Amino acid sequence: MRTVGASHARPMPRPPRTLPADQPVHVVQRGNNRSSCFPSDQERALFVSLLVRYSWEASTRVHAYALMTNHVHLLLTPTTPDGTSTLMQRLGQAYSRSFNHRHGRTGTLWEGRFRASPVTSDDYVLECHRYIELNPVRAGIVARPEQYRWSSHRANIGIEPKCWLTAHPTVAALGTTNVTAATCYRNLFDLPLDEVILAALRTGIHGSSTGPAPVSDTVSDTVSDTGGYAAVNCSSANRA
C-alpha cells in the first residue's frame, strides 16, 4: 500500500472560531497588504449598510466602529458563540464581491482572518470605545472624533441617532438618562489614552489570528476598578 507523503496531504480547513456568547470583543479586519479597502464614501456607506444587515442576522450587537482607509475596528457582543465569526464572514464576503465588481478586480480584499481580542472588564469597555473612535484623530484625519463621519462616535455622544447601534451597559450606566450618559461619554474623550492601555490594545490587534489575545490583565492593572475615568469626568454632568 502506497503511503501518501506529507507534501501530498491536503491542508485541513481552518475550523470556524467560536467566542463566548455575551462576551464583548474588539475586532479588527485589515485590507490585504494594507491596501485601501474604503477608497470613497460610497464604499464606506455600503460597508455600514452591510454591517447593519449582517449584525442583525448574526444576532451580534455593535457598540462602536471606525472605518479607516485600509482597516476597520469593531466593538461587538455576540449573543451566540459563532455570532462574531458569522457576522465577519458574511460581511467580508458580501463587501468583497461588491468592491471587486465595482473596481473590476479579482482576488482577496482582506488580509486573512479578522483579529479578535476579548474585552473582559467594564473599564476596558470604555477604553476600547475610546481607542476605536479616536483612530481618525490619531491618523491625523480630523482634530476631534466628532468631526469624523464614518465612526460610531457621533451617535454615541448623542448628536446623531443611534438607530442600529446598541449601547453597551457600561456606557449606558454613565448617566441616569440617555442625555447625561452621552455627555459623560463625550467627556471621556478629553483625556488622553494611557500608554499602557494603548500598548495592550495594540497587542491584541497584532496578536495571533487564530484566536483572541488575552490583553485584559494589563488594562485591569492600569484602570481603576471603580471606573475612575467616568467618575472624574461625569460628576458635573450627573448634577445637571
- What are the tens digits of pLDDT across the range 94-115? 999 999 999 999 989 999 889 9
- Ranked by mean pLDDT, which of 5-9, 30-34, 49-53 comes out on top? 49-53
148-170 tens-digit pLDDT: 999 999 999 999 998 899 999 99
- With beta carbons less than 8 A apart as the criterion, state whether 223 and 229 touch: yes
Q: What is the pLDDT of residue 172?
A: 96
Do 20 and 81 contact (CB within 8 A), yes or no?
Answer: yes
Q: What contacts 80, CB < 8 A, 6 or more positions away?
A: 21, 58, 59, 86
Range scoring the smallest mean pLDDT among 68-82, 115-129, 133-147, 189-203: 189-203
More confident of the two residues 197 and 231: 197
By the 8 A CB rule, do 188 and 230 touch?
Answer: yes
Please name which of 240, 237, 141 lies closest in space to residue 190, comparing C-alpha atoms: 237
Among residues 196, 87, 47, which one has the least CA distance to residue 131?
Answer: 196
**Would you place residue 72 in the very low, low, confident or very high pLDDT band (cuts 50, 70, 90)?**
very high
Helix or strand or coil: residue 151?
strand
Q: Is the pLDDT of residue 10 over 50?
A: no
Q: What is the pLDDT of residue 238?
A: 35
Per-residue model confidence (pLDDT) at position 223: 25
Enter the pTM of the model. 0.80
Place 15 in a pLDDT band, splitting at 50, 70 and 90.
low
Sequence-distant (≥ 6) Cβ neighbours of residue 44 within 8 angstroms: 38, 67, 150
For residue 204, name the pLDDT band (cuts at 50, 70, 90). low
Residue 78 pLDDT > 70 = yes
Residue 162 confidence (pLDDT): 86
Instruction: Mark residue 161 as left, alpha or beta (left: phi above 0; alpha: psi -120 to 50; beta: remaining).
Output: beta
What 8-state DSSP symbol labels residue 1? -
CATH for 18-239 is 3.30.70.1290
Please give the residue that has the higher pLDDT: either 237 or 64.
64
pLDDT above 90: percentage of residues in the chain? 65
Query: Residues 42, 23: contact at Cβ < 8 Å?
Result: no
pLDDT at 234 over 80: no
Cα–Cα distance measured from residue 172 to residue 74, given in angstroms and rounded to the nearest whole number: 18
Q: Are 123 and 225 in contact (CB under 8 A)?
A: yes
Mean pLDDT of 206-217: 36
Percent of the chain with pLDDT over 70: 77
226, pLDDT greater than 50: no
